[in-house]
Amino acid sequence: MGSMGSDKQITGWAARDSSGILSPYKYSLRTTGAEDVVMKVLYCGICHTDIHQTKNHLGMSNYPMVPGHEVVGEVIEVGSDVTKFKVGDVVGAGVIVGCCRSCGPCKSDIEQYCNKRVWSYNDVYTDGKPTQGGFASAMVVDQKFVVKIPEKLAPEQAAPLLCAGLTVYSPLKHLGLTGSGLKAGILGLGGVGHMGVKIAKAMGHHVTVISSSDKKREEAMDDLGADAYLVSSDTEGMTAAVDSLDYIIDTIPVFHPLEPYISLLKVGGKHVIMGVINEPLQFVTPVIMLGRKSITGSFIGSMTEMSEMLEFCAEKGLTSTIEMVKMDYVNKAFERLERNDVRYRFVVDVAGSNLEQ
């Protein structure tokens, strides 16, 4: 197919400053390269990281910024060297759209840990143009960072899996925690946490949801199928659960103490941190040493793991629990997400929002 050219003007919704308020913004897509896939964006999930970025919580934001990194779209053009995709395919793109391809992580198929990774937005691409995300009518993405959405998965359901689902799946795979019979703790029941419950249950794990209040007990147990529910301020319940868990998936995106949760781990247990927090967390060393426990971090996952995770979800019939909104509701959705007022992931119906009108 012929190139759309660098003058292909599209419309996205961009933040202009640290207020984080999004509004329509016209910009041009880069010229379609030989390895590039051009997708018409169908759906895009809203992640807590989008708030951090649009509001400059991490001090590294560049504006105008079109966020969105849980992107599902339909291929409308492919570059001359693209072999994995064809026009009409339903595909996804996630947090990363570039890497150096020559460092240790890239050669080890864990390109998400490349120091020269290129973020899907709020970054600069190899051609010097700023990257913009999925809150827009179209995206151009290198084929390496595009994945096919299995036919069994509804496209809007697949969007949050590209970040939230992958973020849970990757450490379980890497740490050898995929076998049945393990005891899991899911700390925080938001977008990532709810997928943690679903994926851990599908792997045959006994799942305890740990939360700061009792208000999510019913949905954790009845809607998501958790086996147990623990309120972190319930001293008796927390004491009874000491030394009971093989691992904890910690999804809390704000400062919180670690020691109460580490005490819940068995000998050799692993506390996996996933929340983006811009202040130091603390613990005293005996809580780790006296149980040979580990505090580790994990960041999204590789493209190989993304494909595996999507196939796993398709095979197990797993979906994300979403609330669909149109683009003109996006600022309200961001406000609600900051209040944790969503079950459990907003997905923007980008194609249905008619951005180009």
pLDDT given at position 351: 97
pLDDT given at position 278: 82
Single-letter residue type at 261? Y
pLDDT given at position 8: 87
pLDDT given at position 7: 65
Q: Give the containing element (helix H, strand E) for 80.
A: none
91 vs 321: CA distance, rounded Å: 20
pLDDT given at position 2: 41
Single-letter residue type at 149? I
User: Which of 135, 123, 67 lies closest to 97, judged by CA?
Assistant: 123
Q: How many CA atoms lie within 13 A of 119 on its CB side?
A: 19
Q: Give the containing element (helix H, strand E) for 56.
A: none
127 vs 168: CA distance, rounded Å: 32
pLDDT given at position 322: 95
Task: List CB contacts of 299: < 8 A, sequence separation 6 or more.
Answer: 112, 113, 167
In total, the chain counts a number of residues equal to 357
User: Which of 215, 214, 197, 193 lies closest to 206, judged by CA?
Assistant: 197
121-126 contacts at long range (C-beta below 8 A, 24 or more positions apart):
121/53, 121/65, 121/66, 121/67, 121/68, 121/69, 122/53, 122/60, 122/61, 122/62, 122/65, 122/67, 125/30, 125/97, 125/98, 126/98
pLDDT given at position 5: 46
Asked if 109 and 302 touch (Cβ cutoff 8 Å), the reply is yes
Q: What is the pLDDT along the chain (357 residues), one digit of tens a residue?
A: 344 445 689 999 999 999 999 999 999 999 999 999 999 999 999 998 999 999 999 899 999 999 999 999 999 999 999 999 999 999 999 999 999 999 999 999 999 999 999 999 999 999 899 999 999 999 999 999 999 999 999 999 999 999 999 999 999 999 999 999 999 999 999 889 999 999 999 999 999 999 999 999 999 999 999 999 999 999 999 999 999 999 999 999 889 999 999 999 999 999 999 988 889 999 999 999 999 999 999 999 999 999 999 999 999 999 889 999 999 999 999 999 999 899 999 999 999 999 997
Please, what's the b/e burial string for 129-157 (b: 16 or more CB within 10 A of its CB; e: otherwise)? ebbbbbbbbbbbbbbbbbbebeeebebbb
pLDDT given at position 3: 46
